[in-house]
Structure 1
């Protein structure tokens, strides 16, 4: 870390402008630009871990950044011919729900609608995650999580608008597991993590033992940043094409607008910040995997601002007031 970067970070921390920051790793052109570890109360989903002293090997919830990792896995499995093409009808992949497939409106759903979070089904996650009124929690409590998602009331035509939906990711996780014949963590380890040299991770599961494709991953920040480097390299790593480059390009193509104006691809957010193109996976509490292609920069941020409406401020401040000035 340069003296300039260290001074900017210390000043920003002391001024309280990045409250709740647990760790940050920024890698530019394969070289570590920033590596910071702090301390604070942390949680694994809703279970308090107490005050944690974070370090290079400390695993951290990445929450909904998991969704973006699941999209990478879908691309790998698609390249292997193990999962359906995005244009394929979604309910055709869930043959046990023939009653739902008989509904002509639901029959219009495709895998791409799940990838774009545009299923058009009723789904609310703007309720605290400790409430069964939150759709993701209700899905976890349901006797059949996939039926729970697919039988939600239809609010609008599929593809019409983006609507945040962890259930869409759960469906993708099921397609990956079915197509590869392996649970999501096992396939993730073999197809993505081990080829990248990521040997330590956790993938938390619900009460039914199914790993959460939407929010279950725990990773060390260094390894999270490595996933960003993979995206920068269009899926290539150490001379091997891990994710098809065509999938990376498709995944990061802007398709719909989010409620706050960002664009959305296949489970990745697409924005512009300080004049730089930004693609990101985002998770509750301030978890971020940020990729800035024009700067050749991958940034992993973990934080403890869970359910805080201003949780976005810490990663944005870290970028704008610490990392960007050090790249000029």
Structure 2
């Protein structure tokens, strides 16, 4: 996101006063098969600036917090800007809306939920066929690509428009020149295109379907059950909570969201997200590219090589290398928050920290 535009066109709101921290059972690293010495080496490397401006690293294994270090003055209570990691939270809220019966299924067409934002430019019957799942998998046919500065749907252009939902569905249908395979010829029958505007619109779908402001719905169905408080949303000029990025959460809150996915939608024995939906979030639904692999429901599906061994993972990821990485076969969640917004290859820095230090400190039990 363009920081100047965000300052100019969004408001920051605190949902609730700062209060009790998300509760985590704490254990010593060694008791959970994690090397204290390797963690100390990791912290020393971060403090030495090897990974630029990392602000926190937290690790949970076997459901217990085994490492928590803050590298800035803000400390534990600071709300970290999650950037696009917010998108995974929006996917969770879709699951909560399905559980409450507000959205029948991921096959529901989007258009009826956002009709009040119309009429839309570039009318096309194919827009009416765009489903909730299309937005969850970044594979709608809208011409929207944040990785292409020439795309009409590029995120930076959205912030110049008052109604971000109308901006999204005003977009034309994308074309497929000869060098780009059509959806039917791509893995999973989908053509992935990274589109923040689509995730923003998905938040509006949940808001419309539930009849509650998105931030209120999130507090009731997701954050309160996990003990997350004081979350900070960014808002569009029309007052829509931004489901596409910028949500402020504590590092421990991010760890809890990762643990929720690892537990297939359960938190302390309570069902928060339907199990089938949590599984779908972390199952390949679209192919990004050979370097970045597959994508689930607004969730990245990377593979980390640790001590020569590949480990399939699920990840929430945002600009600057902010990450929540879940590694099922190690029964682990790693949170890395950073301020590496103007640093070269910030995701490479974060992934190196995670693979060569955080996960490398584990044994395999």
TM-score computed with the length of structure 2 as normaliser: 0.80
Tell me the residue number matched to 1:48: none
Displacement after TM superposition at 1:277 (Å)? 1.1
> Which residue, out of 253, 266, 270, partners 1:236?
266
SS, match of residue 78 in structure 1: helix
> Which residue, out of 41, 57, 73, partners 2:93?
73
SS, match of residue 203 in structure 1: strand
> Which residue, out of 302, 314, 324, partners 1:289?
324
The yes-or-no answer on 1:19 pairing with 2:19 is: no
How big is the alpha-carbon RMSD for the aligned residues of Structure 1 and Structure 2?
2.4
CA contact (8 A) 2:122 2:172 kept: no
The yes-or-no answer on 1:257 pairing with 2:287 is: yes
The yes-or-no answer on 1:310 pairing with 2:340 is: no
CA contact (8 A) 1:252 1:270 kept: yes
Tell me the residue number matched to 2:15: none
The yes-or-no answer on 1:171 pairing with 2:237 is: no
Displacement after TM superposition at 1:133 (Å)? 7.9
SS, match of residue 94 in structure 1: helix
SS, match of residue 141 in structure 1: coil
> Which residue, out of 135, 140, 146, partners 2:154?
135
The yes-or-no answer on 1:324 pairing with 2:359 is: yes
CA contact (8 A) 1:235 1:248 kept: yes
Tell me the residue number matched to 2:297: 266
With 68-77 and 301-310 compared, the bigger mean Cα shift is at: 301-310
CA contact (8 A) 2:47 2:71 kept: no
CA contact (8 A) 2:262 2:331 kept: yes
> Which residue, out of 136, 153, 168, partners 1:149?
168
> Which residue, out of 226, 232, 239, partners 1:202?
232
Tell me the residue number matched to 1:108: 129
CA contact (8 A) 2:113 2:209 kept: no
With 16-25 and 278-287 compared, the bigger mean Cα shift is at: 16-25
CA contact (8 A) 2:317 2:324 kept: yes
CA distance in 2, matches of 1:325, 1:177: 41
Q: Which runs of 5+ in 2 are unaligned?
A: 1-28, 30-34, 176-181, 184-188
SS, match of residue 64 in structure 1: helix
Taking a change above 3 Å as real, the CA distance of residues 235 and 151 of structure 1, as seen in their structure-2 partners, is same
Displacement after TM superposition at 1:252 (Å)? 1.2
SS, match of residue 288 in structure 1: strand
CA distance in 1, matches of 2:147, 2:343: 12
Tell me the residue number matched to 2:138: 117
Matched length: 313
Q: Which runs of 5+ in 1 are unaligned?
A: 40-52
CA distance in 1, matches of 2:62, 2:39: 19
CA contact (8 A) 2:57 2:334 kept: yes
CA contact (8 A) 2:282 2:299 kept: yes
CA distance in 1, matches of 2:115, 2:43: 56
CA distance in 2, matches of 1:253, 1:181: 29
Displacement after TM superposition at 1:93 (Å)? 2.8
CA distance in 2, matches of 1:14, 1:149: 42
Task: List per-residue Cα deviations over 1:94-128 (Å, max 9, x = no partner).
Answer: 33436669622323322211111011222242378
Displacement after TM superposition at 1:27 (Å)? 0.6
Taking a change above 3 Å as real, the CA distance of residues 208 and 183 of structure 1, as seen in their structure-2 partners, is same
CA distance in 2, matches of 1:16, 1:133: 38
Task: List per-residue Cα deviations over 1:4-60 (Å, max 9, x = no partner).
Answer: 134321442255431111111111112222211112xxxxxxxxxxxxx13111111
Tell me the residue number matched to 2:36: 3
CA distance in 1, matches of 2:342, 2:241: 22
CA contact (8 A) 1:101 1:107 kept: no
